[in-house]
Amino acid sequence: MTVSGSDTTGPELRARLRRSRRRSTLISVGLVAPVVLFLVVFFVVPIVQMLGVSVYDRSVSEGMPRTAAVIGTWDRDGLPGEEVYAAIGEDLVEGQAERALAGPARRLNQELSGYRTVIFGTARGLPEEPPESWRETLIEADERWGDPAHLVILQRAVNPLTDYFMLYALDMERDIEDAIRLQDSDERLFLGLIQRTMTIAVTVTLVCLAMGYPVAYLLANTGGSLRYALLVLVLLPFWTSLLVRTAAWIVVLQTEGIANTFLMWSGITYEPIRMIYNRFGTVVVMSQVLLPFMILPLYAVMSGISHWNMRAAQSLGAPFATAFRRVYMPQTMPGVAAGTLLVFMLSVGYYITPALVGGSGDQMLSYFIAFYANETVNWGLAAALGTVLMVIVLTMFLLYNYIFGLDRMKLS
Amino acid sequence: MRKAVTTSALAATTALAAGALATPALADLTIASWGGSYQDAQRTLYFEPFAEERGISITEDDFVGGIGGLRAQVTGGAPNWNIVQVEAEELTLGCEEGLFVLIDYDLLEYDEDDFIEGAATECGVGNIVWSKVLGYDADRIEGDTPESWEDFWDLETWPGQRGLRRGAQYNLEFALMADGVPADEVYDELRTEEGVDRAFEKLDEIRDDVTWWEAGAQPLQMLASGEVALTSVYNGRLTGSNRAEGTNFAGVWPGSIYAIDSWVILEGTPDVELAHDFISFASHPERQAQLPEYIAYGATHAGADEYISEDDAPHLPTTPENLDVAIEFDTEFWVENIEALNERFDRWAAR
């Protein structure tokens, strides 16, 4: 009996098999790893971070540490004691010297306009030596230190974990007893904004469906050079810069633009119609920009439907309209589902087009996200609004998945 | 002396380390401004002559605005930039956050009083003045030309759409001036609740006749195409369009709102004295007076006026006739109130 390296029985074989399996698993993991890593670093981490920013903010607890340590003891029955006021006073003196008050001032001003002045105005005028009564000194410097509403905001803001931004993004707030309530109707903004965003997105989606369906049908049911020409016409705008297309629409739709000139020349209208810088313009331009995203999935599904189906239905006596409605249309539903989902998701987050061709009542959620993120550096609120947008998109996605099934959807 | 030796030894080590890491050679000064033709003009007037005079190297970069980027540079240790041209809002915010080196006016050739009002501040030295004016196309208006914000609201004498920048900023000021509030009391009025109500009520009058613009180039396009008859617009772009496109746009100076852009030195800059020297160099009145030949921004040195050419003077925010009838943009007010007022603006617009 010879024992050689090529023994193919018993435990050694199993070990080699395991080794080779492990190696092939390692190779496939290694091949997928870059993609997974990329997704985690550039997709998952930023989203988690964004969610974090909307509920977590340490600017007050870091900028006013003494206050953060003691203000929790205040029971909101009357004004807080000297201890709390002394902590605020010392924080202001030290913060002013070290230029550390900007964070707390910004954060508090986000909750109540004017709080910046309370912080900086007071900090500038404080005595170098500790006064006899910090309470009197502070209230004398700014009477708002004697206002419970200002102090409640401070008391809440020292806690890094906050639901303020999420509530605010939904037009809600906590009252002085910490109960969550809807804001007064003339103070609400974001619920209407969410509704406006949804209305515009749904309108654009329906317009795209109404215009894209016939085009896709034509594409799928004509042959040769006509199909080719149509396809180029659909794809050409797709390759053109969004800004260029938006600017082109301004030229077409403005008061002395091509459309109005034609309407008045042909005698259809006698004075220019307002077609841009309003909701009409927003929907028209967004629909044109997003139309390819409707046509392409529809076309993909329709070109897979055999034309014999329709012929069979008609030969059995169904008029064209009936055959179309009962035989053809149901088969195109996966394309309809994919197209509407794509267009809706893209339009719900639209920013630059409404900004350039919409009126002031046509701005969508992303306009406000950009405003808070870039202009006022209120990242908490920007993140909270971003979260709202994400929840809308996710809900829509799950709803579609439930109704149509993801596996049956054809994206192109 | 000893400290100087240690510092230079440290600098040498740092330079060595940097060399070893094959990073590009460290420039003596890195300046970030607003890019484009504006920065080209600054290069000719300030950057290159200063580098030559001092025998140093200057690296340039583009700044696109926003306090976030500056904060990231300073809190991340040694900033990439040393000197940045910032807008009034960033100046206020960054100064409060301690992102900028406090300006030592003893190191400058000029005193605070040598500059126009509001230009010499704790953390920055004003560099240019730009303005938002009432603009119109002189070729399209026959008869009387508009002269004030009151005229802007007069839809009968000057029919046609009005252009305003979307948002509350500037527009509340214009509305109050149109309602008869004297220019120097506008911000006092806006600081009261009644004043804000009054401004929005005034805006109500032209609500349906306003086309809101977003980007700075839009009002020029709207004027050129006749989309709007009168609009608020940046003065530099108005003059720029007349020079480049041959348009005949005009600006109205009474009631215009001007703002100052400033040089700041980022905290962590190694050679603070050199940075001050540059700012001093760029504040020289004769040098500043040459900028309007390239772009219609005003100078911040009060003495620059006498060197400015007669052709440029009428188009500049800083020419005394123009400056006297204008008000300065109140950064403090807007930093504090922009969110609440813009939210109110959107509720007003959506109604």
Handedness of CA A106, A107, A111, A116 (dihedral sign): negative
Set of chain A residues whose Cβ sits within 8 Å of the Cβ of B214: 355-356
State how far the Cα of A193 lies from the Cα of A360, in Å rounded to an integer.
12
Record: contact A356-B161, CB cut-off 8 A: no
Asked whether residue A59 carries a pLDDT value surpassing 50, the answer given is: yes
Which of A195, A360, A366 has the highest number of chain B CBs within 10 A, making it the mutation to test binding with B?
A: A360
**Is B218 in contact with A363 (Cβ distance < 8 A)?**
no
* Contact between A255 and B345 using a beta-carbon 8 Å cutoff: no
> In this complex, is the C-beta atom of B171 within 8 Å of any C-beta atom belonging to chain A?
no
**Predicted ipTM?**
0.86
User: Cβ–Cβ of A113/B336 closer than 8 Å?
Assistant: yes
Size of interface A-B (CB pairs under 8 A): 78
Give the mean model confidence (pLDDT) for residues B65-73: 85
Flag if B93 and A117 touch (Cβ within 8 Å): no
pLDDT digit string (tens) for A227-264? Answer: 999 999 998 888 888 888 998 999 999 988 999 999 99
pLDDT in tens, B31-62: 999 988 889 999 999 999 999 999 999 999 99
Give the per-residue pLDDT at A177: 85
Interface residue ranges in chain A relative to chain B, Cβ cutoff 8 Å = 98-103, 105-106, 109-110, 113-114, 116-117, 120, 186, 188-189, 192-193, 196, 250, 254-257, 277, 355-356, 359-361, 363, 368, 371-372, 374-378
Interchain CB distance below 8 Å, A250 and B221: yes
CATH topology of domain B2-129+260-324: D-Maltodextrin-Binding Protein; domain 2 (3.40.190)
Over the stretch B166-224, which tens digit does the pLDDT of each residue have?
999 999 999 999 999 999 999 999 999 999 999 999 999 999 999 999 888 899 999 99
Of B93, B211, B345, the CB nearest to A277: B211
Q: Which of A53, A94, A99 to mutate to test the interface with B (most CBs of B within 10 A)?
A: A99
* Residue ranges of chain A that CATH labels 1.10.3720.10: 190-408
CA distance A350 to A365: 8
pLDDT at residue A328 greater than cutoff 50: yes
Q: CA-to-CA distance for B306 and B51, rounded, in angstroms?
A: 27
- All residues of chain A having their beta carbon less than 8 Å from the beta carbon of residue B68 are 377
- The CATH label, of 1.10.3720.10, 1.10.10.10, 3.40.30.10, 3.90.1150.10, for the domain at A190-408 is 1.10.3720.10
Mutate to test the interface with A, among B333, B343, B348 (most CBs of A within 10 A): B343
* Beta-carbon separation of A103 and B350 below 8 A: no
H helix intervals, A142-241: 148-157, 164-169, 190-221, 224-238
Q: What is the CATH number of domain B131-258+328-350?
A: 3.40.190.10
Nearest 5°: CA angle at B109, between B108 and B115? 85
State whether B97 and A377 contact (CB < 8 Å): no
Burial B223-245, CB ≥16 within 10 A → b, else e: beebbbbbbbbbbbbbbbbbeee
Q: Is the CB of A360 less than 8 angstroms away from the CB of B345?
A: yes
Q: Closest Cα of chain A to B322: distance in Å?
A: 29
* Spatial CA neighbour of A53 closest among A101, A113, A110, A99: A110
Each residue's pLDDT tens digit, A260-317? 999 999 999 998 899 999 999 999 999 999 999 999 999 999 999 998 888 999 999 9
Which residue intervals of chain B bear CATH 3.40.190.10? 2-129+260-324, 131-258+328-350
